[in-house]
Amino acid sequence: MKTQDRGDEAVEFSLAVLCYRAEGDIVPFVTRLHRIMSMFAEPWELVLVANYWPGTEDRTPAIVKELAERLDRVHCVAEPKQGDMGWDMKMGLDACRGRYIGIIDGDGQYPMESIAACFAKIKADDIDLVKTYRVYRSDGLYRNLISKAYNVAFALLFPAYRGLRDVNSKPKMLKRDAYQRMELHSKDWFLDAELILEALRLHLRIYELPIRFSGLRGRKSFVQFQTISEFVRNLIAYRWSGRGR
Chain centroid to CA 163: 21
The pLDDT-based confidence of 222 (bands split at 50, 70, 90) is: low
Contact 76, 48 (CB under 8 A): yes
Supply the pLDDT for residue 240.
82
> For residue 203, is pLDDT > 70?
yes
> For residue 6, is pLDDT > 70?
no
Average pLDDT value for the chain = 88
Contact 15, 103 (CB under 8 A): yes
Longest dimension (CA), the chain: 48
The pLDDT-based confidence of 8 (bands split at 50, 70, 90) is: low
> Angle, nearest 10°, between helix axes 26-37 and 113-124?
40
- For the segment 181-198, the average pLDDT, to the nearest whole number, is 93
> For residue 4, is pLDDT > 60?
no
* Cα–Cα distance measured from residue 63 to residue 220, given in angstroms and rounded to the nearest whole number: 20
Burial class (CB in 10 A: 0-12, 13-18, 19+), 176: middle
Supply the pLDDT for residue 138.
64
What's the pLDDT tens digit per position in 120-165?
999 999 999 999 998 866 665 666 777 777 778 888 888 877 678 8
Distances, alpha carbon 193 to alpha carbons 155, 170, 202, in Å: 11, 11, 14
Q: Which pTM value belongs to this model?
A: 0.88
SS (H, E, C) 21-50: CCHHHHHHHHHHHHHHHCCCCCCEEEEEEC
Contact 71, 28 (CB under 8 A): no
Least confident of 42-46, 105-109, 198-202: 105-109
What's the pLDDT tens digit per position in 162-187?
678 888 899 999 999 999 999 999 99
Within 10 Å of residue 200's Cβ, how many Cβ atoms? 17
> For residue 2, is pLDDT > 50?
no
The number of residues in the chain equals 245
Supply the pLDDT for residue 155.
85
Contact 171, 94 (CB under 8 A): no
The pLDDT-based confidence of 3 (bands split at 50, 70, 90) is: very low
What's the pLDDT tens digit per position in 228-239?
778 888 888 898
What's the pLDDT tens digit per position in 96-114?
999 999 999 998 889 899 9
